[in-house]
Amino acid sequence: MPHDPDLILIEHPVISHLLTVARDRKTSSSRFRAVLETIGELLAYEATRDLRLKTRDVQTPLEPFRGQALAGPITIVPILRAGLGLATPMLSLIPTARMGHIGMFRNEDSLQPEHYYEKLPPDVGAGPAILVDPMLATGGSAMAGASLLKQRGCRDIRFICLLAAPEGIDAMQRAHPDVPIYTAAIDRQLNDYGFICPGLGDAGDRIFGTTD
C-alpha cells in the first residue's frame, strides 16, 4: 500500500496496550477516561511534530540564550461531547493553546451530524487548529467540523482521532484533502448502524458513563 502522507497511523506499544484496554467492554468509565488521557498525550505529541516555531530570547542564569517558542495561536477544537476526552490531554501538552468547542451529534437514523453549539476564538484562523474526536466513523462529524473551521478562516487544520473506519477516512480525504488525519488505529469497517467494528462502542457514553 503506498504511503499516504495525510493519513498518519500512530503506532506505539503503549498505545496498542491502552487501546486494547479501551476496547474492553469491561473497562469502567473512570479507567476509560484515564486511558484516553494517556493516549491523547501520545497522539498530541506525534501530531504536533511539525508545528511552527518562532525565536524567543531568554536569559539563563548564566547568559542570554536564543531559543524557540511555539508560533501561535494554536487552538484545540474538540467535537462535543466525546472530543473532550482527547482535548484535555492535548491541552496538557500545549498549555498555551486555546480551546474552542464545536457541538455536534450524529442523528441515529440518518447518521448525519447535527450541529448544536459553537464557541471558537474569533481569530481561530490565525494559527493551527487541531480538531479532535475519538471516532471517525462515517466521517460526517469530522467533515462538518473541518468545514466550519474553514468558514471561520482556518487554513491549517489537522484532525486527531483514536479510531478511524476506512469509510470515514475515504469520505474525509475526499472532502478535505488538505486536512491530515492522525489516528491510533484503522478498524475493519462500519456496521449497519454506523458503528466502527471492532471499535470500542460509543465513545461519549464510555467517557461520561451514560448509555444514551
Per the structure block, which three cell numbers stand in for 164? Answer: 478511524
For residues 73 and 68, what is the distance between their CA atoms, to the nearest angstrom?
15
Please identify, using beta-carbon distances, which residue of 127 and 185 lies nearer to ligand PRP: 185
Instruction: State the nearest-atom distance from the C-beta of 147 to ligand PRP, in Å.
Output: 13
Count residues near ligand PRP (CB under 6 A).
Answer: 24
Q: Among 38-46, 63-71, 116-124, 132-140, which window interacts with ligand PRP (CB under 6 A)?
A: 132-140
Residue nearest ligand PRP, CB atom distance: 204
For residues 41 and 87, what is the distance between their CA atoms, to the nearest angstrom?
9
Please identify, using beta-carbon distances, which residue of 104 and 127 lies nearer to ligand PRP: 104
Prior bond of 134 cis (ω within 30°): no
Q: Kindly tell me which residue out of 76, 129, 135, 162 binds ligand PRP, with binding defined by CB under 6 A.
A: 135
Please identify, using beta-carbon distances, which residue of 73 and 194 lies nearer to ligand PRP: 194
Please identify, using beta-carbon distances, which residue of 16 and 210 lies nearer to ligand PRP: 210
Binding mask 163-202 for ligand PRP (x = CB under 6 A): -----x-------------------------x-------x
Please identify, using beta-carbon distances, which residue of 92 and 191 lies nearer to ligand PRP: 191
Beta-ladder partners of 132: 78, 160
For residues 32 and 162, what is the distance between their CA atoms, to the nearest angstrom?
13
Binding mask 3-32 for ligand PRP (x = CB under 6 A): ------------------------------
Q: Which residues contact 121 (CB under 8 A, 6 or more apart)?
A: 73, 75, 98, 100
Q: Which residues of 182-198 are buried (b: 16+ CB within 10 A; e: fewer)?
A: bbbbbbeebeeebbbee
C-beta neighbour count of 16 within 10 angstroms: 11
Contact (Cβ atoms closer than 8 angstroms) between residue 98 and residue 73: yes
Q: Kindly tell me which residue out of 129, 141, 180, 200 binds ligand PRP, with binding defined by CB under 6 A.
A: 141
Contacts to ligand PRP from residues 96-125, by CB under 6 A: 104-106, 111, 113
Q: Does 75 bind ligand PRP (CB under 6 A)?
A: no
From the list 150, 111, 137, the residue with the least C-alpha distance to 201 is: 137
Binding footprint of ligand PRP on the chain (CB under 6 A)? 79-82, 104-106, 111, 113, 133-142, 168, 194, 202-204
